[in-house]
Chain A
Amino acid sequence: MALRRSEELAAIDRDFRQTYHSVLLPQLKRMEFVRIILFFIFLVWSLGTLAYAGLVLWACLNSPDTTFLHYLTVAVIVCSIFVAYRFLEFVLNLILKKKMLNSILLPFKTFKANKIFDIPSTQLRESKIVEKHVFKINPERIDGVYKGVEIKFNTALLFDIERRYSGGKSRTKISNVFSGYIVEMDMNKQFSGHTILESCLYHTDESFFDRFKDDYYEMEEVELEDPDFKKHFTTIKTTDQVEARYLLNPAVMEKLKELDMSLGRLLMLSDLRLSFLDKKILIVMKVRNVNNLLRLCVLNKPLSKQDKEICAFKDTLLEILEIVDELDLDEKIVV
């Protein structure tokens, strides 16, 4: 079921089309040389690598001492071509975002790329809907005001460091525990309790004893009347049962179900989580894989023909703003 777009968002969409032709397209044409250079580097790298891999393979085939390890080395050399492609595409995206993000955000009026602000890790921890992590990377930080609601938008990659001791040696493993979008919306109303919703339970990876330390488990389960809602949000917990039901009235439940379906389809989400705490609503959207995060371009296509990628970027932002409309955050909560 598609969400209906408000007048304001439809206007942003219209403005974006104009901005694309008048501002973005000339900028993309100017940036084309960067893509060509990076693509040339990739071609040189891949041709050199293929030639080297071919030589190694030829030597392997003609040598009686060839082992499986030799063939594995050839495979690794070939794989480095794909790694190089991804890396150079990532670099190109970074350069483009640095140069063009504010131009893309022009139709969004108050929204700007902001390198200074950050959603602090303590706040993420307090929300209890974000994985335990040691450090994070925020490639995009955008903030602005929509219908009086202050919105901070981050793409986030969270990493955890795990130390394991075996045989007197310690091993450190860095793992990417989360990649997706984190949105913070400031409200004018103070919530007295803390309510969280999760579309899937991710706390299961914690140990049995963690349950006794973590005050997440002090929150009570909320039994809502709508069984269909429970299918979308398997975990609904709160410290204030009345406030949870005030927030999750039947109309809001319907809207959250629609939102879960709509965002899941458009942003390739694997998980949608919400936290209502103090004056803030935190929305955490985990994407299925890192490649689904905001991308402006691909390496092997002229930038001027990549309107699809830029439009997808814009659509993602519109989807985020649609949350304000769908949950009537401007009217219902902001008193």
Chain B
Amino acid sequence: MSLTVIFAGVAAILLVSWLYSVYVSVIKAKNKVEEAMASVDVQLKKRYDLMPNVLFLANKFMEHERSLIEDITKLRTSALKLEGGVSSAQDKINISNEIQKKMGELFVSVENYPQLKSDNTMVQAMKSYSDVEEHIAAARRFYNAAVRDLKNVVQIWPSSSFASTLGIKADMPYFEVENEAERAPINAQNYFN
């Protein structure tokens, strides 16, 4: 076997290995986004499971916030109807932001109801809610990092060629909160000083 054939063979193996590693990185990036979205779904589910407790107590005490409570209930119902996974990402983000905003308003209103504010069950529910919100914020950051990685893979050559061949797109949106005040997770303790 001549030296040229050996050299060509080694070069071919190296090329195939490199192409395979690029392929793997594209698939990994795509799967990472799906994994991250699943994590967001898990955390959002936790939030939606906790909301009835808070809303039930709020409904009992808060007479002037009935419409707000109704809005939150409707939003929760529509959120639960959404499919899991990346396909409904934009809708999830919109509804999640809306729920976060409304729940923030609700917690501010709790200030006006001293009896509710000092209710042990409410305090516990709000603490748990605050904890879940922090987990949601963490899951969002994971999702955003995964989307950013996928966007890089899809837009930068040579992985971009693989991505277009495999039909992988990075059109999923980032999980962004609408304004600066909403960026911080709700901390129940702020309302119980």
Identify the A interface with B (CB < 8 A): 223, 225, 241-246, 249, 331, 335
- Chain B, range 41-69, C-beta contacts under 8 Å to A: 43
Q: Is the CB of B145 within 8 A of A242?
A: no
Name B's A-contacting residues (CB within 8 A). Answer: 35-36, 39, 43, 127, 131, 134-135, 137-139, 141-142, 145, 149, 189
Please give, as numbers and ranges, the residues of chain A lying within 8 Å of B35 by CB-CB distance.
241
**What CA separation (Å) do A241 and B135 show in the bound complex?**
11
B-side binding surface: helix, strand, loop or mixed?
helix
Residue numbers in A under 8 Å from B142 (CB-CB): 241-242, 245
Chain B residues with Cβ under 8 A from A249's Cβ?
134, 137-138
By beta carbon, the residue of chain A nearest B42 is A242
Across the interface, name the chain B residue whose C-beta is closest to A251.
Answer: B184
Complex Cα gap A9–B36 (Å) = 41
With the chains together, A249 CA to B149 CA distance in Å?
20
Interface contact B127-A242, CB-CB below 8 Å:
no
Chain B residue at minimal CB-CB distance from A240: B39
**Among the interface residues B43, B137, B138, which one has the most CB atoms of the partner chain A within 10 A?**
B138
A and B contact pairs by CB, cutoff 8 A, 29 listed: A223-B145, A223-B149, A225-B141, A225-B145, A241-B36, A241-B39, A241-B142, A242-B39, A242-B43, A242-B138, A242-B139, A242-B142, A243-B138, A244-B138, A245-B137, A245-B138, A245-B139, A245-B141, A245-B142, A246-B134, A246-B135, A246-B137, A246-B138, A249-B134, A249-B137, A249-B138, A331-B189, A335-B127, A335-B131
Alpha-carbon separation in the docked complex, A242 to B135 (Å): 7
Tell me the complex Cα distance, A44–B188, Å.
69
The smallest beta-carbon distance between A220 and chain B, in angstroms, is 9
Q: How far is the CA of A335 from the CA of B129 in the complex (A)?
A: 12
Kindly list chain A residues whose C-beta atoms are within 8 Å of the C-beta of B135. Answer: 242, 246
Contacts of A242 in B (CB 8 A): 39, 43, 135, 138-139, 142
Nearest first, the 6 closest Cβ-Cβ pairs linking A and B are A245-B138, A246-B138, A241-B142, A245-B141, A242-B39, A242-B139
Complex: how many Å from CA A331 to CA B190?
13
Distance in angstroms between the alpha carbons of A249 and B134 in the assembled complex: 9
Alpha-carbon separation in the docked complex, A59 to B36 (Å): 79
Residues in chain A near residue B139, CB distance under 8 A: 242, 245
Nearest CB on A from B11, distance (A): 24
Q: How far is the CB of B161 from chain A (nearest CB, A)?
A: 24
- Bound Cα distance A245, B127 (Å): 19
Q: How many angstroms between the C-alpha atoms of A242 and B127 in the bound complex?
A: 19
* Chain B residues in 8 Å Cβ range of A246: 134-135, 137-138
The residue on A at minimum CB distance from B127 is A335
Nearest residue (CB) in A for B139 is A242
Query: Complex: how many Å from CA A23 to CA B55?
Result: 58
Residue in chain A with minimal CB distance to B142: A241
Q: What B residues does A241 contact at CB under 8 A?
A: 35-36, 39, 142
CB-CB under 8 A from B141, the residues of chain A are: 225, 245
What are the residues of chain B within 8 A of A223 when measuring CB–CB?
145, 149
Closest to A246 in B: B138
Alpha-carbon gap, A249 to B39, bound state (A): 17
A241 CA / B40 CA spacing, docked (Å): 11
Q: Which residue of B lies closest to A223 (CB)?
A: B145
Q: How many angstroms from the CA of A46 to the CA of B76 in the assembled complex?
A: 82
Q: How many angstroms from the CA of A331 to the CA of B134 in the assembled complex?
A: 14
Chain B: minimal CB distance from A247 (Å) = 8
Residue on B nearest A189 in the bound complex, by CB: B131
Closest B residue to A332 by beta carbon equals: B134
Q: How far is the CA of A246 from the CA of B134 in the complex (A)?
A: 6
Shortest CB distance B180–A (Å) = 13
| B contact residues around A331 at 8 Å (CB) | 189
Cα(A243)–Cα(B135), bound, Å? 7
- Which residue of A is nearest B135, CB measured? A246
Q: Nearest CB to that of A245 among chain B residues?
A: B138
Which of chain B's residues have a CB closer than 8 A to the CB of A243? 138
Using CB atoms, name the residue of chain A closest to B144.
A225
- The smallest beta-carbon distance between B145 and chain A, in angstroms, is 5
Bound form: Cα–Cα A102–B141 in Å:
46
Q: How far is the CA of A335 from the CA of B137 in the complex (A)?
A: 18
**A-side contacts of B43, CB under 8 Å:** 242
- For A245, the chain B residues whose CB sits under 8 A away are 137-139, 141-142
Identify which of A225, A243, A245, A331 gathers the most chain B CB atoms within 10 Å of its CB: A245
